[in-house]
Each structure stands twice: as structure tokens, then as C-alpha cells.
Amino acid sequence: MKKRVILWFRRDLRLADNPALHAALAGDFDSIVPVFIHAPDELGDEAPGGAQSVWQHFSLAALDASLQGLGSRLVIRHGPTIAALDTLIEESGARAVYWNRLYDPHTIARDRQVKRHLEDRGLETASFKALLLHEPWTVSTRQNTPYKVFTPFWKAIRDEPAGNPLPAPSRLPEVWSRLGSVALSELGLLPDIRWDERIRETWTPGEDGAHARLEAFVSKTLPEYRDSRERPARHGTSYLSAHLHFGEIGPRQVVHRVEEWLHEHGREADRTHAETFLSEIGWREFAHHVLFHFPNTPSEPLDERFKHFPWANDDEALQAWQDGRTGIPMVDAGMRELWATGYMHNRLRMTVASFLTKNLRIAWQHGERWFWDTLVDADLANNTLGWQWAAGCGADAAPFFRIFNPARQGERFDADGAYVRRWVPELAELPNKHIHEPWAAPERILDDAGVALGETYPKPIVDLKASRKEALEAFDRIKNG
Ligand code: FAD
């Protein structure tokens, strides 16, 4: 009997450097059945949010097109996963199931169940590392504990060779034509009311889109990354986060390309930019390490003192923050960029998160959930780490007393106000000196710029100085446990 293998795609939506696909091709199989199973109910809070679902739709379409280009195709099925795999096994006569590993807690539990079930049925199973450079359980401190601080973590893995990326196949075996597939449109990943137009204009989900981004980044932005990454008005970062989240490109491919570029250039100045960028990939590894070892952190603070923090219940303020109408230009600009494009610059993520958790004293979990639904790159590990970092309660977190002043952030990182003007056009005519603090501008300047506070643009919903003081007092109450 012919041997067939099911290749179970999840967040590894690529053909190049895909270890499960590579192993399936190298194995003794006549046929490979590539399948995606839509089972969001199995993932609890880890199920993709709204913006991510839009991305996933187009990424799956791109994967199917690439597979078809090589003579294969993507078989799509509805969950539950075990039932879908059982049916496929019956229909295809497959004797093995291969996949690449994921590290989010619900997914790990589900995958364990699937593996047990398949093995009980006598099928061969194999899983591979594709999402990360290093498995979270292979790195530990000298005391054999997980790392909670980034720098020693990065030091421990930075020089470990990641290996060479695996090539993409040039041809794939055909998939039996009687093996049915659900139409992608039936998964309901796109919204009924099409709010996603700008997301579609901004991004090109899929493996080709990911490589185009990487190439554009390496040729134009990497040579100045260390400086440009801090300027939200410039496109000074790689914009690879969603591509990495969906596994349209792997971290090993990214690292390899950067090292290749360094090799070609080899100037000391280039090395600084490359090292800064690679350490961001390191933060991604760190976030997955922390999530794996502390799987409660998506909902609970790593620093337990924060379980008793007196968070405020203020739905109106939360709504103003979500809508980008807080009256604080940098915060509103960031939140509006997020809503329009599904993305927010890292400097702004830190600023709006600090504002929510410290100036408004709203629990970080509310911000985490909003980001989860609106970011195209929403990633349980990175989002949890980012929010706990900003709230001061996570691994290697910013100390609680480090409260970002959004107006000073604006003066420092958006000195000419270009970012605020782009996203808060009602302030566009204000001179640079006042654009980050319109509430402090003289009446005449506001009039000249056509700004009427409380009418054309909100007055600040909170006093930055007073709320800072209150936050510090609240922290004092929990500080000593
Ligand atoms: P680049 O600067 O080009 O960095 C390259 C890659 O490194 C990124 O694509 C990303 O995979 C990784 N990376 C960069 N910074 C970080 C970081 N601080 N932590 C972990 N990985 C990092 N990133 C997400 O991918 N998903 C999230 O849901 C997410 N939520 C965040 C929430 C908050 C409150 C904060 C402060 C940060 C969050 N980040 C998140 C991290 C960071 O803001 C984004 O990864 C980055 O802005 C993506 O843009 P880029 O790809 O152009 O980044």
C-alpha cells in the first residue's frame, strides 16, 4: 500500500525552511496531504482576534497558491481537530501526521491530545521546530531555572548557531482530487462589515510578502536601524512581526539573511545596526521562553505583588483610549494607527500601554485584549511580555516608577510632529512646539491652527502630572508585598 503523510499546517504558513514539510519530502512517502484545520474554539483566549483573522485568510490563500504552483494544494477542513484528522486519515489512507510545534498553553495541551490520539491509532507522528531559533526548554540559567531577565538569556543563545535555512521544494506530489476541501471563504475569517480595507492596502500576507519585506528592510532600513527604529514617522523597522507570527518566514531565515548582509558589508557601523536588530529577534525568543515556563502570564502578573494593585474601573476612559480620543496626541495617534492599519510602532505601544496602566490605572489585561483583537501581529508571547513589561509586573519589566510622559515621548521621538499630524489631522496646523501638548498652547495659537479644545479635539481626559503621582502612591501600597 502507498504510504501517505498528512502535513498539518498551523502557524508555519511557508514552503521554504519548513522542517515538517522537509521531513515529509525526505521520508518514504508517495503522497503528502497539506491540510489546515480551522478550530478556533479549541484555543480559548488564544484564538485569533479580528485583525489577525483577516491576515490569516489572505495568508492561507497565498499558501494554497504556492502549493498549487508546485502541483499540490491546501485541503481546508473545519475542526474539531481530532475528528477532522480522523476523517482525513480514512479518506486518504495516510499513515503519518507531521507538524511544526507551537508554544502557547492551550495549543500545547490540544497538540498533546492530538498526538496521543494518533499514536493510539497506530499512526506515526513527528513534530519539528520552526517558529523559534531555540526551544524554550533548552535554555536555562546556571541554577537550572528559566530566565526572567533578557540580557543573560540573549547572551546564552546569541552565539548558538541557528543553522542554515532549508530550501523550498521545487515540486510536490499531487493531492488526490477526490479529497474535498472547505472553501476558504466558508471559514468566516473576513468581517461581514468590511472594515479591513486599509489593512489589505497596507500588508501583503503570505510567504512572498514576507520575503519582499525582509529584502526591502535589509537593503533600505537595516543600514540605519539602530536610529530609525525609534522614529515612528519613518518606516524605520522591518514590519516582519505578523509574517513571523504566522510563520510565513522563520526566524532562522531572517537571522541568516542579516548575517549574509553583514558578511557582504562587514563594516563596524553595520554590525551595530545588525546586532540591535538581532536582539529584537532575541526578545521574541525571550517572550516565548517566558510564556512557556510561566503559562499563566497571559492573564496573571509574573510579579505576584501586582495581584493586589488597586486598578481603576473606568469604562469611559478605556473607551476613549481605544478610540484614540484621550486628548493626548501621541496616545491618540498610536491608537488610531492601530485601528486603521492593524499595527502600531513599538515606541507607541510602550507609550499607550504606560498611559493606560499608569495614568489611567486601568489593568493591563484590558489593553492586552484590545491589542489582541486589533493587531495583525497579535502574538500571545510577545503581547503578554509587552503588556507586563509596560505595567511593570513582568519579566525584565520597566520599573513601575518609570512612567512615560507621552508629551515628552513626542518631543523626543516625533520632534517635528510628523507622526501626530499623520494620525491626528485635526492638530496638523499646530506648530511643532505645541503639537504634543495642545492643552498648554496659548489660545491665539490654537485659534490660528483651527483647534478648539473640547470641540475639534478632546481636552486631556486625565492630568498627566497628578495621575502620575496617584499611580506612584498606589504602587507604594503594594511595593513591599
Ligand atoms: P522590528 O523592530 O523590525 O523587530 C523585528 C522583530 O523582532 C519583530 O517583528 C518581532 O517579531 C520581534 N520583536 C521586536 N520587538 C519585540 C519585543 N519588544 N518583544 C518581542 N518581540 C519583539 N510584538 C508582536 O509581534 N506581537 C504583539 O502582540 C506585540 N504586542 C506588544 C505589546 C506591547 C504593549 C509592547 C510594548 C510591545 C509589543 N510587541 C508585540 C513588540 C513590538 O512592539 C513589535 O514586535 C514590533 O513593534 C513589530 O514591528 P517590527 O516587526 O517592525 O519590529
87-96, 97-106, 389-398: the lowest-pLDDT one? 389-398
Ligand 1, residues 239, 377, 380, 396: which to mutate, most atoms within 8 A of Cβ?
377
Question: Which residue's CA is the nearest one to ligand 1's atom 4?
Answer: 280
Q: What mean pLDDT do residues 354-363 have? A: 98
pLDDT of residue 287: 98
- Tell me the best of 224, 382, 383 to mutate to test the pocket of ligand 1, counting ligand atoms within 8 Å of each CB and taking the most: 382
- Known catalytic residues are 280, 283, 311, 346, 364, 387
Contacting residues for 312 by C-beta, under 8 A, at least 6 apart = 360, 361, 362
Residues 79 and 220 in one domain: no
Ligand 1 site, residue 394, Cβ cutoff 6 A: no
Domain identity same for 124 and 136 = no
379/420 same-domain check:
yes
Stretch 146-156: mean pLDDT: 97
* C-beta 244 within 6 A of ligand 1: yes
Residue pLDDT, tens place only, 47-60: 999 999 999 999 99
Domain boundary among 293, 315, 343: 293
Please give the distance, rounded to the nearest whole angstrom, from the Cα atom of residue 229 to the centre of ligand 1: 11
- Whether residue 319 is found in the same domain as residue 394: yes
Same structural domain, 327 and 422: yes
Mean pLDDT of 450-471: 97
Per-residue b/e over 7-17, b at no fewer than 16 CB within 10 Å? bbbbbbbbbbb
pLDDT tens profile 20-44: 999 999 998 999 999 999 999 999 9
Does one domain contain both 138 and 241?
Answer: yes
Q: What is the pLDDT of residue 481?
A: 67
Nearest CA to ligand 1 atom 24: 382
Average pLDDT, the chain: 96
- The whole model's pTM is what? 0.98
Shared domain for 263 and 325, answered yes or no, is no
Q: What is the pLDDT of residue 8?
A: 98
Ligand 1 center to residue 457 CA distance, Å? 30
Q: Is the CB of 390 under 6 A from ligand 1?
A: yes
- Taking residues 155-173, report their average pLDDT: 94
What are the residues whose beta carbons fall under 8 Å from the beta carbon of 342, sequence distance 6 or more? Answer: 51, 54, 55, 199, 202, 203, 242, 374, 375, 376, 377
- The position carrying cell 477526490 is 178
Does residue 345 share a domain with residue 232? no
Where residue 25 sits, what CATH number does that domain have?
Answer: 3.40.50.620
Percent of all residues in the chain with a pLDDT value above 90, rounded to a whole number: 90
Tell me, what's the pLDDT at 400? 85
234 with 151, same domain: the answer is yes
Among 293, 319, 340, which residue terminates a domain? 293
CATH of the domain at 275: 1.25.40.80
CA of residue 239 to ligand 1 center, whole Å? 9
Domain limits for position 23: 4-130
Structural domain total, the chain: 3
Q: Flag whether pLDDT at 434 surpasses 90.
A: yes
Band of residue 161 on the pLDDT scale cut at 50, 70, 90: confident
* Amino acid making up residue 200: R
Residue percentage of the chain with pLDDT more than 70:
99
Q: Is 287 in the pocket of ligand 1 (CB under 6 A)?
A: yes
| Domain co-membership, 322 together with 470 | yes
- In tens, the pLDDT along 234-253 reads 999 999 999 999 999 999 99
Q: Are 126 and 137 part of one and the same domain?
A: no
Closest CA to ligand 1's atom 42: 346
What CATH number corresponds to the domain at position 470? 1.10.579.10
Any domain includes 218: yes
Is 319 in the same domain as 213?
A: no
Section 430-448 average pLDDT: 98
Residue 45 CA, ligand 1 centroid: distance in Å: 20
